[in-house]
Structure 1
Amino acid sequence: MKILVTGGLGFIGSHTVVELQNKGFDVVIIDNLSNSSESVLKGIVAITGKEPQFEKLDLREKASVQTFFKKHNDVSSVIHFAASKAVGESVKNPLLYYENNIASLIYLLQELQEKTEAHFIFSSSCTVYGQADEMPIDESAPIKPAMSPYGNTKQIGEEIISDVAKMSSINAILLRYFNPIGSHPSAEIGELPIGVPQNLVPFITQTGIGLRKELMVYGNDYPTVDGTCIRDYIHVVDLAKAHVVALERLLENKNEDKVEIFNLGTGIGSSVLEVISSFEKVSGKPFPYKIVDRREGDVTMAYASTDKANTILGWKTASSLDQAMESAWNWEQKIRKNNFQ
C-alpha cells in the first residue's frame, strides 16, 4: 500500500518514513524543501535500504495538489506533517502560518473526500490546549483560545478535519504531540533546521558544537520548580512509531469514531534548565546560557497524560530525556564533521 507523507523530508516526517518502510509500506513524499533538504533521502535509504518516491511540491498550490493525486490515484492514506511550526515566528508573521497550514490542509482533504475510502493522520500539537488548568493534560482538557497563530492553525485544522470527516469517507486520527527531540540512533537522519533553530534542543546542540554563542532562556520567573518553562520532550523515533500504529488502526478499521484524538508524549515534564543539564550530562561539557525576558506566546507548563495512547493504541515511549538528548548530540556532531571535511 502506498502512503503519502507530506513534509516527509522534515524532522518528524523523515523518521516516520523510515518506520513506514521498515513495516513494508510504499511511501511517496511531498515536500517543498522550505525547511528540509533532499539529502535526507540518502539517510532514509541508508537506514531502510529503500528509496521512497519524492515529489517536490508546494501544497499551497491547489493545481499542483490536484495534479499529484491524478498521477498517484492509488493514494488514499495520508500522514500530514507539512506545516510551519515555530510559535515565535507565527506571532511575527501570522499570514504565512494561516496560508501554509490551513490552505494546504484544505487542498489535501478536497482530494481525499473524493475517494471511496480514505485515511488521514494529522500532525497536531499540545498547543491546542493553551495553558491547561491541570497537569498532566489529557484529551478531554478544554481547547482554550490559542496563544499564538501557530496554535490557532492547529485548532482550526482539527476543526476542519472533524467537519469534513462527518460528511465524507475520510477517517482520521489527530495526534497531539508534545516536544519531539533527538534523532535516529544511526545518526543518518535528525533535526536539521535551516537558519537559526526555532526549537530548544537543536539550538542547544548547535551552541554545544560552537555554531551559536549562547542560548537565551526566555524567563526564569514562571511558577515552576526552577522558574523556567516546562515541556514534555519525546524522542522522535518513539513519536514516529506512534504514527505507524495510528495508521494501521485506520487501515484495519479498528477506529471507534470517524475522528479519534491521542496525546503523544512521555508523561514527564522537564524544565528548560533540566534540558540544559541533560545536555551537559551526555556531552560532558558546560553549557553557556543567559536568562532574558519572557517570550510572547509561551505557555508555562505542558506535559501529557499518555493513558489513552498507551491503552487504546498499545503504544508507549521507550527513550528517556538523556537518551533522546544523546542521540541529538551524536547527530549534531556527525553533520558538522561531514560539513567541514
Structure 2
Amino acid sequence: MKILVTGGLGFIGSHTVVELQAQGYDVIVLDNLSNATLEVLDGIEKISGKRPRFEKIDLRDRTAVQAFFNTHTDIEGVIHFAASKAVGESVENPLLYYENNLSTLIYLLQELQKKPEASFIFSSSCTVYGQAKEMPIMESAPIQSAFSPYGNTKQIGEEIISDVARVSGINAIVLRYFNPIGAHESNLIGELPIGVPQNLVPFITQTAMGLRQQLSVFGDDYDTVDGTCVRDYIHVVDLAQAHVVALKRLLDKKHLEKVEVFNIGTGKGSSVLEVIRAFEKVTAKKLPYQIVGRREGDITAAYANTDKANDVLGWKATKTLEEALLNAWNWENKLRTP
C-alpha cells in the first residue's frame, strides 16, 4: 500500500518511515526541508535497506499539493507530521504557526475528501489539554484553553479533522503525543534541530557536548516534586511504532468511529531535574545548568494515561527514559564525530 508521510525527514517522521518500510509499506515522503536535511534519506535507507521516494514540496503551496495528488492517485493513507512545533517560538511568532500548521492540514484534507475513502493519521499533542486538572491525563479530559499558539493549532486541527471526516470518506486517528526524545539505536537518524534547540533533550546533549555554555531550566517554583516542570518522555521509536499500529487499524477497517483519539506516552512523568540527573547517570557527564525564570506557554505537569492505546491499539511503550537519553547522547556524539 502506498502511504504518504508529510514531514517525513523530520525527527518523528523519519523514524516512522523506517517502521513503515519494515512492515512492507510503499512510502512517499514530502518535506520542505525547513527543519530537516536530505542526508536523513541516507540514514533511512541504511537502516531499512530501502530508500523512500521523496519530493520537496512546501504544503503551504496549495497548487503544489493539488499537483502532487493529481499525479499520485493511488495513495491509501496519509500520516501528517509537517508542522512547526516549538511552544516558545509560537508565542513569539503566532502567525507563522497558524499559517504553517493549519493551511497545510486544510490543503491535504481538501485533496483527500475527493477520494471515496482515505485513512489519515494526525500528529497532535498533549498541549491540547492545557494544564489538565487530573493526572495522569485521559483522552476524555476537558480540552482547556491553549497556553500557546502551537497548542491552539493542534486543538483547531483536531476540530477541522472531525468536521471534515463527518461529511467525507476520510477516517482518522488523532495521536496526542507527550514528549518524544531519543534516537534510533543505529545512530543513523535522530533529532536534528536547525539552530538553537527548542526542546529539552537536544539542548542537554548539545550542552554536554560543549556546543552550549549551559542549560537553562525554566522555573523551579512549580508545584511539582522538585519545583521544575514534569513531562512524559517517550522514546521516538516507540512513538513511531504507534503510528504504524494506528494506520493498520484504519486500513483494516477496525476503527469504531470516524475519528479516534489516543494518548501516546509512557504513563510516567519526569521533572526537568530528574531528566538531567538521569542523563548524568547514563553518560557519566556532568551537565552545567542554571535556574532561570519561567517560560511563557509552559504548563506545570503533563503525563499520560495510556490505557486506551494499550487496550484498543494493542500498543505499549517499552523503552525507558535512560535508554532514550543514552540513544540521544550517542546520536549527538555521532553527529559531532568527523
TM bucket (normalised to shorter chain) is: over 0.9
Q: 1:285: how far off? A: 1.4
Deviations 1:239-273 (A, max 9, x none): 00000000000000000000000000000000000
Query: In 2, Cα distance between the equivalents of 1:116 and 1:90?
Result: 36
Distance 2:295 2:94 in 1: 16
* SS of residue matched to 1:311: helix
User: What is the CA–CA distance in structure 2 between the aligned matches of 1:206 and 1:71, rounded to whole Å?
Assistant: 42
Matches within 5 A, 1:226-241: 226-241=226-241
Matched AA of 2:298:
D
TM-score (norm 1): 0.99
Which whole-Å CA distance do the structure 1 matches of 2:65 and 2:285 have between them? 47
In 2, are the aligned partners of 1:76 and 1:112 still within 8 Å (CA)? Answer: no
- 1:278 Cα shift? 1.0
Contact in 2 for aligned 1:76/1:115 (Cα 8 Å): no
Partner in structure 1 of residue 256 of structure 2: 256
Structure 2: tracts of 5 or more residues without a match: none
What is the aligned-residue RMSD (CA, Å)? 0.4
The corresponding residue for 2:114 is 114
Render the CA deviation track for 1:207-244: whole Å, top value 9, x for unaligned: 11111010000000001000000000000000000000
State the Cα distance separating 1:33 from its structure 2 match.
Answer: 0.4
State the distance in 2 between where 1:123 and 1:184 align: 20
Provide, for residues 6-50 of structure 1, a one-character-per-residue CA deviation record: whole Å limited to 9, x for no partner: 000000000000000000000000000000011000000000000
- Counterpart Cα distance in 1 of 2:120 and 2:285: 43
Residue in 2 that maps onto 1:175: 175
User: 2:236, 2:242 → 1: CA distance?
Assistant: 10
- Does residue 278 of structure 2 align to residue 282 of structure 1? no
Describe how 1:70-109 pairs up with structure 2 within 5 A: 70-109=70-109
Secondary structure in structure 1 of the residue aligned to 2:3: strand
For residues 131 and 145 of structure 1, the distance between their equivalents in structure 2, rounded to whole angstroms, comes to 9
Look up the SS of the partner of 1:120 in the other structure.
strand
Match of 1:206 in 2: 206
1:151 corresponds in structure 2 to 151
What secondary structure is seen at the aligned counterpart in 2 of 1:76? strand
- Counterpart in 2 of 1:243? 243
Q: Number of matched residues?
A: 338
**In the alignment, structure 1 residue 332 sits paired with structure 2 residue 310:** no
Unaligned runs of 5+ in 1: none
C-alpha displacement at 1:75, in angstroms?
1.1
User: C-alpha separation between the residues in 2 aligned to 1:187 and 1:174?
Assistant: 29
Q: TM-score, normalised by structure 2?
A: 1.00
Task: Please list every run of at least 4 consecutive aligned residues from structure 1 whose deviation after the TM superposition is greater than 2 angstroms.
Answer: none
Match of 2:301, SS? coil
1:135-146 equivalences in 2 (<5 Å): 135-146=135-146
Identical positions, percent:
72
The whole-number CA distance in structure 1 between the counterparts of 2:110 and 2:77 is 13
Secondary structure, aligned partner of 2:75:
coil
In 2, Cα distance between equivalents of 1:190 and 1:24: 22
> Which residue does 2:322 correspond to in 1?
322
Give, as a single letter, the amino acid of the residue that structure 2 aligns with 1:54: F
